[in-house]
Structure formats: structure tokens, C-alpha cells
Structure 1
Amino acid sequence: MATGRGSHLMLGYQKSVSAPAGDHAMCWLADLLKGKEKMANELVPESPLAQLQRQLDAARAELQDFTYAVSHDLRAPLRHINAFAQVIAEDWPDMPGEVAGHLATIRQSAQLLSSQLEGLTQLSRLGLQTLNVQPVDVGALAQEVAEEVAAKYPQQPVQWQLATDVPQVLADATLLRQVLVQVLDNAVKFSCRRALAQVELTWQTLEGGRCQITIRDHGLGFAPEQAHALFKVFGKLHPVREFPGLGLGLVASRKLMERLGGAIRIEGLLGEGCCVTMDVIRS
């Protein structure tokens, strides 16, 4: 049977011999081609690679759900701990110094864990954001982020050397901006022991329509064999008291770059700074 759009259907026909009220005939039509296609799809075995990919996607979704649920459910007990510690401090103003110190440790630990849980929640949601891929002016975006970072560290003079001729790349501007914020913020933060922080952004063309963006600083750096630890959850190589942070920024940056079809790497030398390289799709 030909349709009005020029395609063809293979129909199965069935009629009813005894019609209701004796004055109507009833029949049923079924598209046999669709039925055959469905049966064929069900009979074709799933390839090992497709099966592994399906299992991996399911595991990732389950992990995201678990991380969000755990981080969400633990917040209420932490709020209670912090609130009761505050009540004790207010009701016992003349408590011994040792007790006051223990109480302060309890509150600080609860606040730290609360921040870590919030970070995990945000990390678990990175894969759920809808992408808005379009040409992005990396040079202008980096300049904008650099101004914000400089305002965050008013006591730290910074010499920015940001290439202005960076070609446009195909990316989600919001996600790429988050990566640049993390990398440039780290570059300045870990250069605090220098009288003048120096941050350089360069680029080069890669094969396959890609572009490599490199951000280099001359800060504390790290031992090369420790680079892998920076992409682990809560991975930190320097004292938290001197360099605040949760150790989630680079983990998030890697996930964001993977979502953009790119990659991020980091190299460093202790006392000489580090170099962050991002591979992105050129517009």
C-alpha cells in the first residue's frame, strides 16, 4: 500500500464476522513492516562494545545519583552539629580554654565537611548541564576572567601576558569560562610567594581541526610525579591553611573539558611553576 508521502506499507488485515448491532463491519489493520523491524532489532545481538558502553553509562548515572543523595542527606546532621556547637558556645561563655578549642575544632570540621559535600554535589551535576556549543572568543574570555581573578587578589601584583590572537573555538562559553577561572585563579594563588606573579597564555594549531591553549605560571609548582594527584577528588599538594581550597577544581575542569570534546593536562616543576594545556575544537 502506498502512502501519500510516497512510502509503502505492508498491512495485515483482520475482519470481524459478527458486527455490533448488525449494521457495521469491523476490521483491524497492522503495519507488518514495523513489526518485522522490531523483531529484527530484538534478534540482533548487542555487540560487546555497545554492551560495555551501556553498562558504563548506567554506572555513571548511578554514581551521580549516589553522590548527590549522600551529599544531600548528610547536610542536615552537619547543620545540627554546627548549631548545637554554637548553642554551647553561647550558653557557656566562661568555658575552659581547652574546651573552647575543642568546640572550635568541631565547628571548623563541620563547616569544612559541609563545603566538601557542596563541592561533591556540584561535581555530580556537571554531566547534567545542557550544552550550548558555539564559536567562543577565547582571548576575550581569558581577559575577562583575568580581570576578575586580579580583583580577587588585590595584594598580589600580576603581570598578564595573554595572547589576543587566539582563534575562536567551538565550546560552551559558560563551561569553558569555568575552566579558565579555575586555571587562572590557581596560577595567581600559587604565585603568592613571588613579588610579581607572571601568567602567560599562548596557543598553537593542532592537526584535526583542533587548537591547543597553554597557560603557564612561575609559582610554587610541584614534583612531576605528583601531577596525577591533582586530578583526584580532594587532591591537594600544598597546605590548606596557606592555600585554601577543596581540591575539586581540576577534577571539575577535566570533566568539563571532556564534555566539550577536549582534554586538559598539567605539568610542573617544584619551585618553578606549572603549565596547563587544554586541547579544544577549533571553530
Structure 2
Amino acid sequence: MDETVLRILSIEDNPADARILQKNLSPIDRFSNFAIVEAACLQDALHALSHAAFDAILLDLGLPDSQGLETVRQIYERAPKIPILVMTGLDDEDLAMEALRQGAQDYLVKGEIRRPWLVRAIHYAIERQQIVEQLQKLNAELARSNRELEQFAYIASHDLQQPLMSIGAFAQLIAMKLDRHLDPKIERYLAQIGQAVTRMQQLIRDLLAYSRIGIGDRPTDLTDCNRCFQEALANLRSTIAESGAVVTTDDLPSVRADPAQWVQLFTNLIGNAIKYRRPEELPRIHVSVRQQWHEWCFCVRDNGIGIESEYFDRIFQIFQRLHSEREYPGTGIGLAICQKIVESYGGRIWVESTVGEGSSFFFTVPRNQ
């Protein structure tokens, strides 16, 4: 703290205890420059709070016109942004602990108060209150950011999709109108318009999914990962059939996670393993899991084309692609979505790979306590 005078409201009805506080807070150095305002009852304290600003409050729980937690409640309601340090007798510690739960920052035991402890406790309480206010501000900014993301999601799903649908529809109308008189070059152009519209719609859907991750309440129910795995296979049914992929799994645990996000996680990772397969070999993908310390570590292993180590970090960045759209279609958001899902649950995701042999994507999630 600097040399600024800290204004302290001392709410104490015992004159002897009030004098001890005054003595302990008398100025000695630049770290203990206090201005004390005394109040001997709750009403005097509330009056003082209405007419002056304070940096901290020293509160005795036993006042002539208020006792115990009711005192804390009324002071906290009047001045929620001023740190409260409760003064308690030796036999009132349980009450003091409850006062902390009601909004007090700290408590001090009368008879054991020493100047260094008191000065330090006041400074710490003020600093903690400043941290609390910063966290509240950050939470408010986060809530505002989430509202903006929700607004973006609305725009993406309506205002951006509608023009694309119109472009696609008009391209189809032109093709129908010209019918057999359609020039092959024009037909190719219209087909390219349709393909571009389809890619843009998928890109918007992926951006929408990416923006929504982490918005809303954290899940409290357990999710069966075996069921999520089966739903992911159902999503990939045609891709698996076309490629002849063999996808197997260990018995998977239940985790505290959003089931839709976990289905998407498995779908993206298994879908990528099938997409980046070696042409001369049937794709084989296995999902395994192991328990380590306080978390589950999942692994999606394949026998595909592999990834060079210099790209291990880059592939998780949004819109980052190692191959052209013609070689491997996609939007370049899939692994970024996987990373955002995993990290939203306090986990991490990484890859280990050998070119020409395959890749193993690992991700962790905290175990359920």
C-alpha cells in the first residue's frame, strides 16, 4: 500500500477495546497511516456509512442495538464493497466463521490482537476486496461477451444463412430454366456455385458450433462415453461404410460433460482419422482410455497418413489446414472445436504421430470425485 490515509470505521461499544484499537492503529510508518472513525452502536455505524467513504470496517458482533450475524448482515447490505473484519471473543469463533460466510473478509480474536497482525489483516482484507471486485468485473465482461456470442450465433444461423440459401436457389432456377439448352461451361459454373454455397453453409455451421462451446451452465450429470461413442459412429455411418473403416473401443467411463459436445468430440476425431487414411490400407481406429492421477486420458489411434511433428500445434488452430480442399475437403475448424471442448472442461489435447504410420490424439478430462 502507498502513503494514502486509510479510513477505518471501528464499530465497537466497549470503550477499553476501542482505545486498544486506536492505539494499535496509531500512525508509525507509511504502511499504517489510518484515520479512525468510531461508532458505538449499529445505528451510528449505518449513519456514518451513509455520510462518508471508508476503506475497511472493524466490527464487534455484540452491540447494544444488534447482536451476532444480524449485525454483519445489515452492515454488509449497507456497504457490500467495503471489507468487514469481525472482532470476536475467544468463545465466538464458530459465530465468526459463519460471519465469513455471510460476507465478512476476516475475523480477529479480541485479546490476541497485536499491532502487526491487525495492520496486516486490514491491508489483506482491502486487497482481497479489490480482487473480488476485479473478478466481479471480469465476470460481468464475460457475461457480456457470452451475450454477444449468442447474438452472433443468431446472426450466423439466420442473417448469414439466408443469402446463401437464395444464391443456391437462384442457381438451381437458372439450371432448370435453361434445361437442355444449358451450355456445358455455364453448367460447370452453376455447379461450382452450388459447391461454394454448400461449403459456406458448413463453415457457418462450424463457426456457430465453435462459438457456442463453453456458453451456459456446467453439466452436473454424468455422461456415458460409450453411448457418445455409439452416437458418433451413427453420425459417421455412411463414411465408415464407404471407407470400410474398422472402429473399435475399450469400455469407456462416464464423465461430467455435455453429451452433445462429447458426441461431437468423438465424431470429429474419428471422422478425421477416416478422412486422412492411407489409400492402400483400410483405416483402423481404436478409442482407448486410461486412468491417471485425477483424470481420464483418452486416445483415438489410427493407421493413417500421419502428421509431421512441426505441425502438431498448428493443426489445432482455427482455419489451419495442411492439405488443399481438393485433396481433403473440410473447413479446418474440426480440431479447433475439439480443443475448445476439451479445454472448457479443464482438460488438454495433443497429438503424437509418425508420417506413414498413423496418429494418436490424446485428450484428458477430470475424473468425477
- The answer as to 2:276 corresponding to 1:190 is yes
Distance 2:245 2:197 in 1: 35
Distance 2:232 2:243 in 1: 16
| Number of the residue aligned with 1:226 | 311
Q: What are the Cα deviations for residues 72-127 of structure 1, in whole angstroms up to 9, with x where unaligned?
A: 42223222322222232222332433233223222322232122122212222223
Distance 1:241 1:37 in 2: 64
Asked if 2 retains the 8 angstrom alpha-carbon contact of 1:143 and 1:162, the reply is no
Query: Which of 226, 237, 241 lines up with 1:154 in the alignment?
Result: 241
Segment of structure 1 superposing worse, 150-159 or 181-190: 150-159
| Number of the residue aligned with 2:209 | 122
TM-score, L = length of structure 1: 0.73
Check 1:171–1:82 CA distance in 2 against 1; reply closer, same or farther (3 A cut). closer
* Counterpart residue identity of residue 203, structure 1: V
| Number of the residue aligned with 1:38 | 80
Asked if 1 retains the 8 angstrom alpha-carbon contact of 2:231 and 2:263, the reply is no
* Counterpart residue identity of residue 75, structure 2: L
Q: What are the Cα deviations for residues 200-253 of structure 1, in whole angstroms up to 9, with x where unaligned?
A: 23333222x112111110112222212333222233323434533322222222
Check 1:192–1:280 CA distance in 2 against 1; reply closer, same or farther (3 A cut). same
Distance 2:292 2:221 in 1: 19
- The answer as to 2:135 corresponding to 1:50 is yes
Distance 1:242 1:102 in 2: 20
| Number of the residue aligned with 1:109 | 196
Per the TM alignment, residue 167 of structure 1 is displaced from its structure 2 partner at its CA by 4.3
Asked if 1 retains the 8 angstrom alpha-carbon contact of 2:232 and 2:264, the reply is no
Distance 1:118 1:137 in 2: 26
SS at match of 2:214: helix
Distance 1:158 1:92 in 2: 42
Distance 2:220 2:77 in 1: 38
Distance 1:219 1:198 in 2: 8
Q: Which runs of 5+ in 1 are unaligned?
A: 1-8, 15-30
Query: Which of 131, 134, 139 lines up with 2:221 in the alignment?
Result: 134
Asked if 2 retains the 8 angstrom alpha-carbon contact of 1:266 and 1:276, the reply is yes
Asked if 2 retains the 8 angstrom alpha-carbon contact of 1:222 and 1:237, the reply is no
* Counterpart residue identity of residue 78, structure 1: L
Cα RMSD (Å) of the superposition? 3.6
Check 1:172–1:90 CA distance in 2 against 1; reply closer, same or farther (3 A cut). closer
| Number of the residue aligned with 1:199 | 285
Q: What are the Cα deviations for residues 17-67 of structure 1, in whole angstroms up to 9, with x where unaligned?
A: xxxxxxxxxxxxxx85244432516x8535797388448726743662564
Check 1:235–1:67 CA distance in 2 against 1; reply closer, same or farther (3 A cut). farther
Distance 1:49 1:274 in 2: 43
Segment of structure 1 superposing worse, 115-124 or 45-54: 45-54
Query: How many matched pairs?
Result: 257
Check 1:147–1:55 CA distance in 2 against 1; reply closer, same or farther (3 A cut). closer
Query: Which of 313, 336, 348 lines up with 1:263 in the alignment?
Result: 348
Distance 1:161 1:91 in 2: 49
Distance 2:161 2:222 in 1: 39
